Amino acid sequence: MTEFALLNTIKNPSDVKNLEPARLEQLAAEMRRAVLQKVSAKGGHLGPNLGTIELTIALHRVFNSPKDKIVWDVSHQCYPHKLLTGRAFGFTDPARYHEISGYTAPAESEHDVFTVGHTSTSVSLACGLAKARDILGQKHNVIAVIGDGSLSGGEAFEGLDNAAELGSNFIVIVNDNEMSIAENHGGLYGVLAKLRASGGTAQPNYFESLGFEYRYVENGNDIAALTAAMQQVKDTPHPVVLHVHTLKGKGYKPAEENKEAFHWSMPFDIKTGKVLQDSSNQPQTYGEVLINHLEQKAAADSKIVAINAATPGALALRGFRERRPQQYFDVGIAEQHAVAFASAMAKGGARPVALFYGGFIQRAYDQLSQDLCLNNSPAVIVIESAGISSMDCTHLSVFDIPLMANIPNLVYLAPACEAETRQMLDWALAQNEHPVAIRLPGGAVPALQNDPAAPLELNKFVPVKAGSKIAVLGLGGFFALAEQVAGKLLEHGINATLINPRFITGLDEELLNHLVASHDTVITLEDGVVDGGFGEKIARFYGDKPVKVYNFGAKKEFTDRVPVEELYRRYELTPEQIVARVLA
């Protein structure tokens, strides 16, 4: 593979240090090619990584990892770092693509300090490393690399506010590529823009206001300039911010021109920049059904607005944003604010719908509890892509039920089909009594044998098909699985009752009591962690009754890029396994 001739000689950061300066541009070019090649083939974060190649080369020439600690925020811009720390094979060798994750992973390398995939954590984490260093009397540099809009997250501010007082070595590199995941929002990014426009001299300076020394590098893709700037802050005895202006997508024209689309991309054709998979023929996802319906409702009522935290692409909100800009609010990476803002908008008479990727709603638990539910504010929260997935360990979406369903006042709904998805949004927006959340599975809306929908009445489950002996409760996206289980049971001569619970947060005690007369077994199926989830509430309800209860769902664990089918088997979630366990 001569296209990676130089990169293949780099086994660790000291190899980077030993290169003649004249060869660094070639290294950068090979790194860029490696990132582009893998991401175009497998999908992944493109723009952030193309933008940080020179930054990473400079980091490893100036600092001494792993003695010096580099903490990558979100860590989706760490591919170049992986290329220089013994893991280039994961980008240059298609057969080994799968060996390397898209985020920093201490299990892969001693140069990765933390497993990180949620934003805005790097400064706090680095601050803890710096304090431990000081307490243990060690001497090394601690560097947080933060960018891609992560500064807007509250944890990043808390970290900066505390790190400013460290009184010892601490370096924050702000990788400013002018973007969040989508375009940037918030007053802070106005400040960054002014700093860029003024070559770093504009006042008032946010970082200086907090107490940091501040330095600016205009060309953040110039290795020499970056190296010089880092040499100056290396071994600093106090906290410093190095603001580096990089180009997101640098070196690949389609990514430079469409920064949002190439922040993260599905596999694409390098020549044209076109995504390979034709999504127009794909079946609709739950998220698309809801958002299309939301857009129609918003067209009819200007009080209905959509709120999201920097993820319009992941949530299929770009069309809504384009066509209804006055009713669309991207608050940046700021989930806490998004929930409080939604709650208050509802109190103020608007009809907000705040949409979150499943794994990120957990960034706003206190706001769900205090700002929303304690105030019983009729805002609508939509959780997308909830359920068991093959995602990276940092992007799992299986913990939302224990998280949310145990908060008082919240009505948490799980639609089982397309019609119910629309129905639940209608219901949530038509009422004024409860905060309502809607849990959407990640995949396409299923074709079902039975129609699981019925008029919504608070905490009323739907008895979709009457049977006896065994009742199967299939929550939301797992109603389809319940149908399959019922089918299997029929092969064993059991005509099972099929129930669509719909309400995660309230038991239909009447229906559950009614089952006792003609059923000795109840099965619960949920597409999420069993611990603290829906099924356990059913187990508690039947605790003193002559009904056996079997709860099926995910195990309480962090899984990392495990195929869904394998997880289903591991959790005994195939229809065969479920029936085998219950009939045993």
Looking only at residues 317 through 346 of this chain, which bind a second copy when binding is defined by CB under 8 A?
A: 327, 329, 331-332, 334, 336-337, 340-346
Length of the chain: 584
CB nearer a second copy, residue 498 or residue 530? 530
C-alpha span between 303 and 351 (Å, rounded): 5
To which H or E segment does residue 471 belong?
strand 469-474
106 is a site residue for a second copy (CB under 8 A): yes
- Please give the structure tokens belonging to residue 559: 């899984």
CB nearer a second copy, residue 33 or residue 243? 243
The answer to whether 235 and 167 are in contact (CB under 8 A) is no
**Footprint of a second copy on 427-466 (CB under 8 A):** none
158 is a site residue for a second copy (CB under 8 A): yes
389 is a site residue for a second copy (CB under 8 A): no
User: Which residues, including other chains, have CB under 8 Å from residue 51's CB and lie 6 or more apart?
Assistant: 77, 175, 177, 220, 221, 246, 247, 248, 249, 250
Calculate the CA dihedral of residues 127, 69, 47, 206 and round it to 10 degrees. Answer: 30
349 is a site residue for a second copy (CB under 8 A): yes
Name the β-bridge partners of 397. 387
CB nearer a second copy, residue 38 or residue 337? 337
Question: Among 210, 225, 270, 564, which residue interacts with a second copy (rule: CB under 8 A)?
Answer: 210
Q: Helices in 217-279 by DSSP H: which ranges?
A: 223-233, 253-257
CB nearer a second copy, residue 278 or residue 544? 544
Question: Among 37, 362, 495, 577, which residue interacts with a second copy (rule: CB under 8 A)?
Answer: 362
Instruction: List the one residue out of 378, 351, 355, 372 whose CA is nearest residue 286.
Output: 355
66 is a site residue for a second copy (CB under 8 A): no
Of 36-44, 46-54, 149-157, 277-285, the window that binds a second copy (rule: CB under 8 A) is: 149-157
43 is a site residue for a second copy (CB under 8 A): no
CB nearer a second copy, residue 62 or residue 364? 364
CB nearer a second copy, residue 84 or residue 547? 547
Question: Among 409, 450, 468, 574, which residue interacts with a second copy (rule: CB under 8 A)?
Answer: 409
The answer to whether 221 and 250 are in contact (CB under 8 A) is yes
Instruction: List the one residue out of 548, 549, 519, 555 whose CA is nearest residue 536.
Output: 549
Of 44-52, 123-131, 489-497, 567-575, the window that binds a second copy (rule: CB under 8 A) is: 123-131
C-alpha span between 356 and 268 (Å, rounded): 26
Per the omega criterion (within 30 degrees of 0), is the bond before 204 cis? yes
Binding map of a second copy across residues 169-198, x = CB under 8 A, - = no contact: ----------------xxxx-xx-------
CB nearer a second copy, residue 117 or residue 474? 117
Q: 24-42 and 53-62 are packed helices; what angle lies between their axes, rounded to 10 degrees?
A: 130
201 is a site residue for a second copy (CB under 8 A): no
Of 155-163, 251-259, 416-424, 460-468, the window that binds a second copy (rule: CB under 8 A) is: 155-163
**Footprint of a second copy on 501-560 (CB under 8 A):** 529-533, 535-537, 539-540, 542-544, 548-551, 556-558
The answer to whether 363 and 394 are in contact (CB under 8 A) is no
Q: 223-233 and 24-42 are packed helices; what angle lies between their axes, rounded to 10 degrees?
A: 100
CB nearer a second copy, residue 261 or residue 396? 396
298 is a site residue for a second copy (CB under 8 A): no
Question: Among 402, 443, 446, 463, which residue interacts with a second copy (rule: CB under 8 A)?
Answer: 402
